[in-house]
Amino acid sequence: MDRKLKKKLSSLGTNPKERIEELFGEVNQHQKKYLSLLYELAIHDIKTGLYNNLFFENILEMEMEKAQRGKQRLSLFIIDVDFFKKVNDTHGHIKADEFLAQLARVLKKQLRASDIAARFWGEEFFIILPETNLQKAKKITSRLRTAIGSDKLLGKYNITVSGGLVEYKKGDTKKSIKERADKALYKAKNTGRDKFVAIE
């Protein structure tokens, strides 16, 4: 046997097989940790900690399949920060990001474990409310609105949001339910902002 190899094997102790298995176990544990970290990074938005757009799209598709089979009710909610360009121009991008992160924290605190909140784009957020009809969803979004309105940081800088709420209806596609939620959002914005609007 090669001298160098002998030396390396002797450094493993009296039971090299056991030590090698132990080392492989440690490597596997590290790999699992890194894979878990990579997965978390892949599905979350870095600035807010909410789920990202890609994850949202996949979950929405799965939840809609359940709704299409008649297995559950489903509601979809979209939130948009009012006058966000003005917020950016007035307070700068770093402060604006802080507002988005705080809004995300408020959402996470108020939502149920089964709800999926995602940063969709810029200052827009989508929330999937599984097993939830429109009436129940209205109660949830009303609670959200109260929490957002009473938040100290958002209130201090007069950060308000508008929202649009819809329930899945037969024949809806991912595109159509998002478009209806968007239509409800625009109705909220066009009728004064700082409000949530639900449409059938």
Digit-coded pLDDT (tens) for 94-136: 999 999 999 999 999 999 999 999 999 899 999 999 999 999 9
**pLDDT greater than 70 at residue 145:** yes
* Active site residue ranges: 123
**pLDDT greater than 60 at residue 1:** no
Contacts of 69 (CB under 8 A, 6+ apart): none
Mean pLDDT calculated for residue range 29-37: 68
Edge-to-edge strand ranges of the sheet holding 74-81: 116-121, 124-130, 74-81, 161-167, 196-198
Work out the pLDDT band at 42, boundaries 50, 70, 90: confident
Output 34 or 118, whichever has higher pLDDT: 118
pTM of the model: 0.82
Mean pLDDT calculated for residue range 46-63: 94
Q: Which of 3-7, 12-16, 76-80 has the highest mean predicted lDDT (pLDDT)?
A: 76-80
pLDDT of residue 148: 96
Q: E strands within the chain?
A: 74-81, 116-121, 124-130, 161-167, 196-198
Return the number of other C-beta atoms located less than 10 Å from residue 148's C-beta. 23
For strands 124-130 and 74-81, give the pairing. antiparallel
**pLDDT greater than 50 at residue 9:** no
Mark 61-70 as b/e (b = at least 16 C-beta within 10 Å).
eebbeebeee
Which residues partner with 167 through β-bridges?
75
Work out the pLDDT band at 16, boundaries 50, 70, 90: low
Mark 122-134 as b/e (b = at least 16 C-beta within 10 Å).
ebbbbbbbbbbeb
Q: Do 108 and 50 contact (CB within 8 A), yes or no?
A: yes
**pLDDT greater than 60 at residue 81:** yes
Nearest to 49 by CA among 104, 95, 93: 104
Kindly state the percentage of the chain with pLDDT values over 90: 76
pLDDT of residue 94: 94
Using the structure block, give the residue that is written with the tokens 């920060």.
81
Work out the pLDDT band at 2, boundaries 50, 70, 90: low
Work out the pLDDT band at 166, boundaries 50, 70, 90: very high
pLDDT of residue 62: 95
